[in-house]
Amino acid sequence: MSWPPSSPCPEVLSAPTPITLAAAIPDGASLALAPDYSGCSLVTIRELIRRRARGLRLIGLPQLGLQADLLIGAGCVATIETAAICLGEAGIAPAFERARRAGEVQIIESTCPAIHAGLTAAEKGISHLPLAGVIGSDLVDLRPDWRIADDPFATGQLLLVPAIRPDILLCHAALADNAGNLWIGVRRELMLAAHASRRTLATVEEVVDHDLLADDVWAAGTIPALYVDGIAEAPNGAAPVGLRGRYPSDRARLHAYAEAARTAEGFNRFLNAWLGDG
Amino acid sequence: MSWPPSSPCPEVLSAPTPITLAAAIPDGASLALAPDYSGCSLVTIRELIRRRARGLRLIGLPQLGLQADLLIGAGCVATIETAAICLGEAGIAPAFERARRAGEVQIIESTCPAIHAGLTAAEKGISHLPLAGVIGSDLVDLRPDWRIADDPFATGQLLLVPAIRPDILLCHAALADNAGNLWIGVRRELMLAAHASRRTLATVEEVVDHDLLADDVWAAGTIPALYVDGIAEAPNGAAPVGLRGRYPSDRARLHAYAEAARTAEGFNRFLNAWLGDG
Amino acid sequence: MAEQGRRLVMIAAIARRLAGLRHVAVGAASPIPAAASLLARALSDDSVTVSILGSAHHSSFTDGGRELFDCAAQGRLDAFFLSGAQIDATGAVNLLGLGDPMAPTRRFLGNFGAPYLASLVPNVILCRTDHGPETLVEKVDFVTAPGREGRRLVTDRCVFVVEEGRFRLETRHPGETLESLRAATGFNFEAKPDAGITEAPDNTMLSLLRGPVAQAMHEVYPAFAAELERG
Amino acid sequence: MAEQGRRLVMIAAIARRLAGLRHVAVGAASPIPAAASLLARALSDDSVTVSILGSAHHSSFTDGGRELFDCAAQGRLDAFFLSGAQIDATGAVNLLGLGDPMAPTRRFLGNFGAPYLASLVPNVILCRTDHGPETLVEKVDFVTAPGREGRRLVTDRCVFVVEEGRFRLETRHPGETLESLRAATGFNFEAKPDAGITEAPDNTMLSLLRGPVAQAMHEVYPAFAAELERG
């Protein structure tokens, strides 16, 4: 072992914007994304589409929504691993459905607790986590990478789920501070994903001047800068989906998207209008 | 299966006090206790000693401190499972040391991450958790309940640590609300232990009128009432150890204890003075 | 029976099953289970804890997405609700798709947490508002979660319960006959010997539904809440 | 050399090993490693993150006691410090006790996280302020954590490094000779061919120690901080 070793942590991006965040997500990266209710950086998704990202491997936390559907429709996605994909009350994800029928996206079917378990294994630096339940579902047959083993401490069998180590977590949150600490409140799946991912990139509604770790009331909901590689201020950065405690989702726009995107032409019209927006 | 099934949750204690909390901890119970820096309900420990609790099986989160030493010196403890036991800067736990030499307390030696792993397994309803590291330590030889297994997903071996399911978590925190939600801030090991334990009993500095779950800033550091079975208001309830963000430990008193408790007589003098205190 | 009347019968039928439980969780896009759970809470004088996923006001989870699943594994979740694009005679549900699961002719939204919760939560209640032969089938194309003895299915027409491995009719909603149910159901079923009519909501229930339940529903299901208030 | 002088040499020796790292954590009751880590941070223009366990102001952990260990397993912790009631020629440490581990004649505080961190953190630095033959032994009675190639031991007399499975002398502190070290050490050791004198702290280090490092130490180690300020 050489001394000192090269640092295992990637460089923090300096002065990030949604454009530089998107540029830090290479083609082919595995990219963890939150469902529509848990901190989506649509403003960075737009830049990923503008730069014509390709071959992304999306991981739902544990589901996927609008972010995934837009990326899939724009041709940025190779695979998705998720417990579900939908647009909430707007239903089926239309671009995904079209890509699925055309065989343009590979689906790695999962279930919410298996994704949490895989991320937890990565968080703890172990190869896998045992998971209760699930055995008895046909889902197990769709996952040759999962294993069923005798429980070494009890009668019965356990499902063993391998670690999930995303290259990048991309999310949107309410606040960050100047030191790079990211406040996510009770959206703790983002903290789990940040621990499990090699890099975390985020946009926030606002960067505040006070140290989020200085007061335990704030610190309790904060991902320390240690895990965060780039933060860009982007007010309203989750729109048209909502941000808990800040703004609701734009239901009219989501329904308009769900309607328009039923055809490739409609999707492209919506996309072009959106790309022209900001 | 009968319908509806009997509830798996124990009854919430009504109008608890440190005395009724102590009464709800039966002799022989396994009792999870925090180290001196993470929320100790000394005020309830005093009541446990007053009621002459016996045969307690202590579990350190992941270490033990003054609470354990007092209980051990008072003859309340049968076993301790812990990564360490000490009085912080006041050093060796003297009553423990005397009981150990006399063979009056059984020690289940552990290491911090193994206790976290055991509690995490209980939190997730699985029989065990794989743990990185540790293999190579002689500690493994002291734990016939741990297993070494080939890693099914990688070359090499993994330590498998069985679930730790304490009967009761006893802790002290800054705040609770009238609905029984308990604010622990960044002392997240208490949340893990609450999830893993059958019951959680707590004292708090104050019970507040507002709903701790109503605002995400507070909710982020709150154990929901769902996991909490009894909360008693007990200002200064951690003294003579401190409570983060509220008051420091009483160093003079801790050092006086460490000095006095070197002999059984000195311990008893200290204890009697303390039992007479409040 | 009018649609709103059927809904109220479903809500009452589910709420009655939740009496005496401690903690009931409701997934996304489940207005009827949400209303039934909130009704059960109101009837219990708030001794039932209700966690509505996606709600900021009616969720007591603070440990992220995994907490619901950990909570179930700890034995701290007494009831949960599942739908199923297909539900079969054994009580198995299919949330994934029709045909070959690797390339379904029609894909639904995905398995969500059902493969896990269905085996760990003691009371999983299946719920469908569109009782019909395409949904209620002899055998699902894909087992998202297998059936289980005692599992109930509450539809807009009746209540089924799994006994000896198959659904039996427990009660039929007002206006339904054994014949109308057989015609609308894609699997054969027996009726329990004591099968009767599903009890309609009583006046206490109706007034709670119009009042505190509707109020609590406004955050996540505003349109549904407004209909409850109209009664 | 006076006690404070030795301490400063130890702090400087450790701080130099931490240059270029990203994240260094310090356990409880470790004032010298804490001062060295804070010095390394000050020298790096704050590019080193320092987590001092037990500190409210110098800890960036927000996920409870497990986070330090998870962080190490993720490869996000570059250095940690261990002491050892016994440390042996192979670099193994004993934190448990003397004699039979099931009934030690003398018991220390316990293994803490050492069995885990020693194998997962790339740079574990051993640190003892009382270099003597009872502490530095040929073979520990109990292996809390085994030794590892390249592991360093910084004492109040010298710096050792494990090479080919055994400690070799890397540098001796001012005032020590090979003979004085052999007399004070319970295991036999070779000196590295280029073994020299441990470099004393330079003026920049001394002024940082008296200033920002002492200030940051006040919360957890007030007495030690006061001594640093006196210089």
Q: Do A195 and D63 touch (CB under 8 A)?
A: yes
Cα separation values, D211 from D207, D214, D216, D228, Å: 6, 6, 9, 9
Alpha helices in A17-77 (DSSP H): 18-23, 42-50, 66-73
Does position B7 have pLDDT exceeding 90, yes or no? no
- In one letter, which amino acid is B227? Y
What is the per-residue pLDDT for D58?
A: 78
Average pLDDT rounded to a whole number, residues B6-14: 44
Q: Do A153 and B125 touch (CB under 8 A)?
A: no
Q: Do B83 and D110 touch (CB under 8 A)?
A: yes
Does position B107 have pLDDT exceeding 60, yes or no? yes
What is Dmax (Cα atoms) for chain B? 60
Q: Enumerate the β-bridge partners of residue A173.
A: A204
Q: How confident is the model at residue C222 (pLDDT cuts 50, 70, 90)?
A: confident
Distance between CA C105 and CA B30 in Å, rounded? 54
Query: Cα distance from B63 to chain D (closest Cα, Å)?
Result: 8
Q: For chain B, what percent of residues have pLDDT higher than 90?
A: 91
Compute how many other C-beta atoms are within 10 angstroms of the C-beta atom of residue A145: 11
Chain A residues with CB inside 8 Å of C68's CB? 112
What is the per-residue pLDDT for C53?
A: 86
Average pLDDT rounded to a whole number, residues B139-149: 97
What is the per-residue pLDDT for A13?
A: 60
Average pLDDT across each block of 10 residues of chain D; the chain has 231 residues. List them in order. 87 97 92 96 92 82 96 97 96 97 94 97 97 97 98 98 98 97 98 95 96 92 90 74
Q: How confident is the model at residue B232 (pLDDT cuts 50, 70, 90)?
A: very high
Q: Do D56 and A195 touch (CB under 8 A)?
A: no
Angle at B41 between CA B35 and CA B47, to 5 degrees: 125
Give me the phi and psi of C100, to 5 degrees please: -60, 120
Cα separation values, A86 from A43, A234, C108, D172, Å: 19, 25, 9, 66
Query: Cα distance from B23 to chain D (closest Cα, Å)?
Result: 29
Task: Give the strands of the sheet with D86-88, arranged side by side.
Answer: D93-94, D86-88, D136-137
Domain boundaries, chain A: 6-127+166-275, 131-162
Could you report the per-residue pLDDT of C52-85, keeping only the tens digit for each? 987 777 788 999 999 999 999 999 999 999 999 9
Residues of chain A with pLDDT under 50: 1-12
B153 lies within 8 A of chain C by CB: no
The alpha carbon dihedral of D171, D176, D177, D182 has a sign of negative
Residue of chain A whose Cα is closest to the Cα of C142: A138
B residues 71-90 closer than 8 Å to C (CB): none
Per-residue DSSP letter, D19:
T
Residue in B5, B125, B226 nearest the CB of C23? B226
Distance between CA B21 and CA B172 in Å, rounded? 12
Average pLDDT rounded to a whole number, residues C159-165: 98
C61 lies within 8 A of chain A by CB: yes
Does position B3 have pLDDT exceeding 70, yes or no? no
Q: How confident is the model at residue B194 (pLDDT cuts 50, 70, 90)?
A: very high
Angle at C212 between CA C211 and CA C217, to 5 degrees: 105
Q: Do B226 and C60 touch (CB under 8 A)?
A: yes
What is the per-residue pLDDT for C220?
A: 85
CATH architecture of A6-127+166-275: 3-Layer(aba) Sandwich (3.40)
Q: Do A136 and C29 touch (CB under 8 A)?
A: no
Chain B residues with CB inside 8 Å of D56's CB? 244-245
SS3 B208: strand
The 3-class SS string of D99-114 reads CCCCCCCEECCCCCCH
What is the per-residue pLDDT for D214?
A: 96
Q: Can chain A be said to touch chain B, i.e. do they have 3 or more Cβ pairs within 8 angstroms?
A: yes
Does the bond joining B62 to the residue before it have cis omega, within 30 degrees of 0?
yes
Chain D residues with CB inside 8 Å of A226's CB? 23, 49, 60, 71, 76
Is the whole model's pTM more than 0.90, yes or no?
yes
Distance between CA B12 and CA A235 in Å, rounded? 44
Query: Who contacts B93 (Cβ-Cβ below 8 Å, separation ≥6)?
Result: B64, B65, B66, B68, B69, B72, B85, B86, B87
Preferred mutation among A3, A200, A211, A217 to probe D, highest tally of D CBs within 10 A: A3
Cβ contacts from A onto B, under 8 A? 88
Q: How confident is the model at residue C3 (pLDDT cuts 50, 70, 90)?
A: confident
Q: What CA dihedral angle connects B235, B238, B242 and B243, to 10 degrees? A: -60
Q: Enumerate the β-bridge partners of residue A149.
A: A158
Per-residue DSSP letter, D117:
H
Query: Cα distance from A38 to chain C (closest Cα, Å)?
Result: 9
What is the per-residue pLDDT for A3?
A: 27
Query: Cα distance from A161 to chain B (closest Cα, Å)?
Result: 9
Most confident of A14-18, C5-9, C216-220, D216-220: C5-9
Residue in B82, B89, B137 nearest the CB of D110? B82
Query: Who contacts A263 (Cβ-Cβ below 8 Å, separation ≥6)?
Result: none
- In one letter, which amino acid is B25? I
With contact defined as 3+ CB pairs under 8 Å, the chains touching C are A, B
Could you report the per-residue pLDDT of C82-131, keeping only the tens digit for each? 999 999 999 999 999 999 998 999 999 999 999 999 999 999 999 999 99
C224 lies within 8 A of chain A by CB: no
Residue in C61, C95, C115 nearest the CB of A134? C115
- Backbone φ/ψ region at C110: left (φ over 0), alpha (ψ -120 to 50), beta: left
Domain boundaries, chain C: 3-230
Chain D residues with CB inside 8 Å of A216's CB? 56
C144 lies within 8 A of chain A by CB: yes
Structure tokens at C21: 């439980």
Q: Do A139 and C111 touch (CB under 8 A)?
A: yes
Q: Do D111 and B84 touch (CB under 8 A)?
A: yes
Distance between CA A46 and CA A238 in Å, rounded? 11
Angle at B62 between CA B58 and CA B64, to 5 degrees: 55
> Can you identify the CATH homologous superfamily of domain D3-230?
Glutaconate Coenzyme A-transferase (3.40.1080.10)
Chain C residues with CB inside 8 Å of A110's CB? 111
SS3 A95: helix
Q: Do C112 and A83 touch (CB under 8 A)?
A: yes
The whole-chain average pLDDT of chain B stands at 93
SS3 A100: helix
- Backbone φ/ψ region at C114: left (φ over 0), alpha (ψ -120 to 50), beta: alpha
Cβ contacts from B onto D, under 8 A? 113
Decide if A202 contacts A41 (C-beta within 8 A): yes
C54 lies within 8 A of chain A by CB: yes
Distance between CA B62 and CA B81 in Å, rounded? 9
Residue of chain D whose Cα is closest to the Cα of A196: D74
Distance between CA C51 and CA C35 in Å, rounded? 12
Q: D117, D122, D120, D119: which is closest to D53 by C-alpha?
A: D117
